[in-house]
Amino acid sequence: MNEMAPTREQRTAALEGMGCKRKRVEDIRFTQGRGSYVDDLKLPGMLHGDFVRSPHAHARVKSINSEAALKVPGVLAVITAETLKTVNLAWMPTLAGDVQMVLADGKVLFQNQEVAFVVATDRYAADDGVTKVVVEYEPLPVIIDPFKAMDKDAPVLREDLAGKTAGAHGPRKHHNHIFEWTVGDKDLTDAAFRKAEVTIKEMISYHRTHPSPLETCQCVCSFDKVKGELTIWGTFQAPHVIRTVVSLIAKLPEQKIHVISPDIGGGFGNKVGAYPGYICAAVASIVTGKPVKWVEDRIENLTATSFARDYHMTTEIASTSEGRVTGLRVHVLADHGAFDACADPSKWPAGFFNIVTGSYDFPTAHLTVDGIYSNKAPGGVAYRCSFRVTEAAYCIERAMDILAQKLKMDPAELRLKNFIKPEQFPYHSALGWEYDSGNYHTAMRKMMESVKYAELRQEQADKRAAFKRGETREIMGIGVSFFTEIVGAGPSKNCDILGIAMFDSCEIRMHPTGAGIARVGSKSQGQGHETTWAQIIATEIGIPADNIMVEEGNTDTAPYGLGTYGSRSTPVAGAAIAMAARKIKAKAQMIAAYKLEVHEDDLEWDIDGFRVKGLPEKTMSMKDICWAAYNSVPPGMEPGLEAVSYYDPPNMTYPFGAYICVMDIDVDTGVYKVRRFYALDDCGTRINPMIIEGQVHGGLTEAFAIAMGQEIRYDDEGNVVTGSFMDFFMPTAVETPHWETDFTVTPSPHHPIGAKGVGESPNVGGVPAFSNAVNDAFSFLGATHIQMPHDFWRNWKAAKDLGVFA
């Protein structure tokens, strides 16, 4: 009996390609506890390392005595800066062109800085050894407040830079100054301000926070003395870059270094850079000839590995009295901590902060960023962010609300009035970017209609009247945020890391039975690449996603890639995947033409194979072509079906979104309730709507954390007072609000499948929505700008300062 042939819909659905809510294939192992993380690795004879860390934020190290530590049973070695000097590794280069102590060399510059590395047969012995190392310190004056770093009499932090009047990014104007970065037209901007009918000026701070992934930073290093090969398993977001960096600084031939990133439990920018733990574990393995494991604990992760933000943005907008913006002026004081270890593409000392004109058509703008040193941990990484876009979006979105308040205009209306119009794309911003595509008005109006914006404002007016009459102690805030992201670092013309262009890559190898493997230069830390990359290939070459295995993170097998951070995977690696798949398809077409005895041009693509134009019954499926590729290719053609693509994007992609937060705050306690949070995202072509929703939920939760309480705080002596999850706000399902998600689709015109990144968007747009809601709530009591984070205490304090209890 003849079976019914599958319909076109059934054939398409069977592929589980782009647009399908395909279930995450990686979850099969994760939900069964079968993931394989660095700390799961147990090698024969493996040793463990742990750090002696500085209790002081700034101190001279007078002496280090390891005698007692070496007597602890199991302790084999104590490595100090003196040991590292013998192999020229006491200092290491940072991604930002600075140098950083691996272990304290003469002084310490932040609390919990690494001072010595104790190596032992197990972790407990290493910890015991740590407590027995005696370090003599002479405390020095500290700088915690960035606004005091460039005072005339400020203590000299970086004695190694004495006499250096220039750094990696130009002249230094003070001994604690790192760089000054300027973009835009100063004269035109000054002129716009002179002519302005209305101006606003506010110092908008984005406090210091931390990516705090569930799994901390860690590695296992194993040096094979016979082969002279070093294998490193680590929590690396960019494994190939780590291989190159290790080769350059350890002077080992790159082919003898094998870097493997196994499953990673969250990165959020924290696992991009190189840390002293990696160097010490590698040196310890070379010295002992045994594998050495280093696993950070939570306090170490929060206090010593890369922080995020600490940007203090003095922001001015010039406008007409009708609310048409005419100029933007921003000065940023950027606190980079003790070493400039920002993870940015080389030419961008303040990342992509010059996206600060946001979604608005500013005719002119001028930006200056001063980077400074302080006695805080180094970093400045893109925590769920694309190189300072999060800071930029917060800056402009708060400033637009402040302008609306001054003009007595509705903040949504002010935004609609100043948006870049659809016909202006590709749009050249005053600070140098070319926005690829956007339809901001449609997104904003969809958001306003979905949440019934006008009704919310009426409700707020009624509540304010009731508050004034003394009938309620609750104030209602409506936080509008409209952001434009810049993701997909990036085009080789302006993006590199240590001189390596920021392309990405994919290699696809099809097997005879119609299955295949795709190896990609990106590295998932939970974003679901194994699921979505197979979906791109499924749509491109008509092989079910289930038949494509995706592999990332092994530098021996994956083609060279620049890794995953800043939502660059879909814009760059995603494009490489589509391009590699298209190469497969092109060869497949030649094979099909040969087998079907027609000219290639007589074939057309049809879901999962080729068919002869005008003869729809004459077909050859991709599955059959795979088989033919291994036994009957056209004469002169090489057998096999594989392709590799290295993709250098022509431009970044510019996702955008319209968010709104509705919040009630009790003025007597400062307790807030997020009543509603609606997030509309436009990330161009959507590969997997379910994964996108998951990304948005996660990013919004991190935005909620940052805006409403998450902070790395120091006391005046440089002690970290938020060094554990007891003090550092980590929201659970109990506190996290309910998220409503929505979307529009404006494809990227230059990306092969029209997709833009999405992972960072909800954090970029979410933080201003929360902060604008709090500020909007307090605005009718006379507030202009209340700094984040908006925890209960600060809300109560704001109410008190505004005279609510008088």
By the rule CB under 6 A, 532 interacts with ligand CDP:
yes
Tokens of 176: 């604690």
- Minimum CB–partner distance for residue 527 and ligand CDP (Å): 4
Beta partners for residue 477, in sequence order: 663
By the rule CB under 6 A, 688 interacts with ligand CDP:
yes
By the rule CB under 6 A, 369 interacts with ligand CDP:
no
Contact region with ligand CDP (CB under 6 A), list: 364-372, 521-529, 578-586, 709-717? 521-529
- Minimum CB–partner distance for residue 570 and ligand CDP (Å): 3
Is 385 assigned a catalytic role? yes
Would the CA dihedral through 630, 632, 633, 636 be positive or negative? positive
Size of the site for ligand CDP (CB under 6 A): 23
SS3 353: helix
Contact region with ligand CDP (CB under 6 A), list: 8-16, 319-327, 353-361, 681-689? 681-689
| Nearest to 37, CA basis, from 553, 695, 699 | 553
The nearer residue to ligand CDP, 113 or 695, going by C-beta atoms, is 695
SS3 123: helix
Interface with ligand CDP in residues 111-130 (CB under 6 A): none
3-state secondary structure 61-109: EEEEECHHHHCCCCEEEEECHHHHHHCCCCEEECCCCCEEECCCCCEEC
By the rule CB under 6 A, 345 interacts with ligand CDP:
no
Would the CA dihedral through 594, 599, 605, 610 be positive or negative? negative
By the rule CB under 6 A, 439 interacts with ligand CDP:
no
Active-site entry in 219, 385, 395, 683: 385
Residue linked to tokens 């701070």: 205
| Nearest to 560, CA basis, from 501, 502, 643, 504 | 504
By the rule CB under 6 A, 747 interacts with ligand CDP:
no
- Minimum CB–partner distance for residue 764 and ligand CDP (Å): 11
DSSP state of 2: P
Beta-carbon contacts of 144 under 8 Å, excluding residues fewer than 6 positions away, are 57, 374, 375, 376, 714, 715, 716, 718
In a 10 Å sphere around its CB, with 0-12 CB exposed, 13-18 middle and 19+ buried, how is residue 625 labelled?
buried
* Distance in angstroms (rounded) separating the CA atoms of residues 533 and 524: 11
Is 455 assigned a catalytic role? no
- Minimum CB–partner distance for residue 263 and ligand CDP (Å): 15
The nearer residue to ligand CDP, 218 or 386, going by C-beta atoms, is 386
- Report the 10 Å Cβ neighbour count for 180: 16
The nearer residue to ligand CDP, 333 or 764, going by C-beta atoms, is 764
| Nearest to 263, CA basis, from 39, 598, 16 | 39
Question: For ligand CDP, which residue of 129, 167, 528, 553 counts as binding (CB under 6 A)?
Answer: 528
By the rule CB under 6 A, 451 interacts with ligand CDP:
no
Question: H or E element: which one contains 641?
Answer: strand 641-647
The nearer residue to ligand CDP, 208 or 529, going by C-beta atoms, is 529
* Distance in angstroms (rounded) separating the CA atoms of residues 346 and 94: 11
Contact region with ligand CDP (CB under 6 A), list: 43-51, 73-81, 524-532, 666-674? 524-532
- Minimum CB–partner distance for residue 467 and ligand CDP (Å): 41
Question: H or E element: which one contains 765?
Answer: helix 761-779
Binding mask 11-50 for ligand CDP (x = CB under 6 A): ----------------------------------------
- Minimum CB–partner distance for residue 566 and ligand CDP (Å): 7
The nearer residue to ligand CDP, 429 or 527, going by C-beta atoms, is 527
Question: For ligand CDP, which residue of 759, 766, 768, 789 counts as binding (CB under 6 A)?
Answer: 759
- Minimum CB–partner distance for residue 656 and ligand CDP (Å): 12
- Minimum CB–partner distance for residue 577 and ligand CDP (Å): 10
Contact region with ligand CDP (CB under 6 A), list: 136-144, 505-513, 554-562, 683-691? 683-691
The nearer residue to ligand CDP, 146 or 759, going by C-beta atoms, is 759
By the rule CB under 6 A, 746 interacts with ligand CDP:
no
- Minimum CB–partner distance for residue 682 and ligand CDP (Å): 9
Question: For ligand CDP, which residue of 692, 700, 703, 786 counts as binding (CB under 6 A)?
Answer: 692
| Identity of the residue numbered 177 | H
Would the CA dihedral through 113, 119, 121, 125 be positive or negative? negative
Is 413 assigned a catalytic role? no
By the rule CB under 6 A, 691 interacts with ligand CDP:
yes
Contact region with ligand CDP (CB under 6 A), list: 325-333, 373-381, 526-534, 639-647? 526-534
Question: For ligand CDP, which residue of 59, 89, 502, 683 counts as binding (CB under 6 A)?
Answer: 683
Phi, psi of 52 (to 5 degrees): -85, 130
Active-site entry in 100, 113, 218, 237: 237
Contact region with ligand CDP (CB under 6 A), list: 175-183, 404-412, 522-530, 551-559? 522-530
Binding mask 645-664 for ligand CDP (x = CB under 6 A): --------------------
Residue linked to tokens 């929060």: 302
User: Long-range contacts made by residues 419-423, C-beta under 8 angstroms, separation at least 24?
Assistant: 419/359, 419/360, 419/361, 419/444, 419/482, 420/359, 420/360, 420/361, 421/361
* Distance in angstroms (rounded) separating the CA atoms of residues 263 and 213: 13
* Distance in angstroms (rounded) separating the CA atoms of residues 722 and 730: 11
| Nearest to 48, CA basis, from 105, 157, 127 | 127
Tokens of 318: 């010039």
- Minimum CB–partner distance for residue 431 and ligand CDP (Å): 23
- Minimum CB–partner distance for residue 571 and ligand CDP (Å): 6
Question: For ligand CDP, which residue of 80, 113, 695, 741 counts as binding (CB under 6 A)?
Answer: 695
Q: Are 348 and 385 in contact (CB under 8 A)?
A: no
Question: What is the greatest pairwise CA distance in the chain?
Answer: 93
Q: Are 406 and 211 in contact (CB under 8 A)?
A: no
* Distance in angstroms (rounded) separating the CA atoms of residues 527 and 518: 17
Active-site entry in 384, 415, 519, 568: 384
* Distance in angstroms (rounded) separating the CA atoms of residues 118 and 50: 5
The nearer residue to ligand CDP, 328 or 392, going by C-beta atoms, is 392
The nearer residue to ligand CDP, 143 or 562, going by C-beta atoms, is 562
Interface with ligand CDP in residues 550-589 (CB under 6 A): 564, 567-570
Cis bond upstream, residue 73 (ω within 30)? no
The nearer residue to ligand CDP, 69 or 572, going by C-beta atoms, is 572
DSSP state of 396: H
Active-site entry in 26, 215, 702, 760: 760
By the rule CB under 6 A, 687 interacts with ligand CDP:
yes
Beta-carbon contacts of 90 under 8 Å, excluding residues fewer than 6 positions away, are 81, 82, 84, 101, 102, 103, 105
- Minimum CB–partner distance for residue 745 and ligand CDP (Å): 9
- Minimum CB–partner distance for residue 442 and ligand CDP (Å): 18
Is 237 assigned a catalytic role? yes
| Identity of the residue numbered 411 | P
Catalytic residue IDs: 237, 384-385, 760
Binding site for ligand CDP (CB under 6 A): 527-529, 532, 564, 567-570, 683-688, 691-692, 695, 755-759
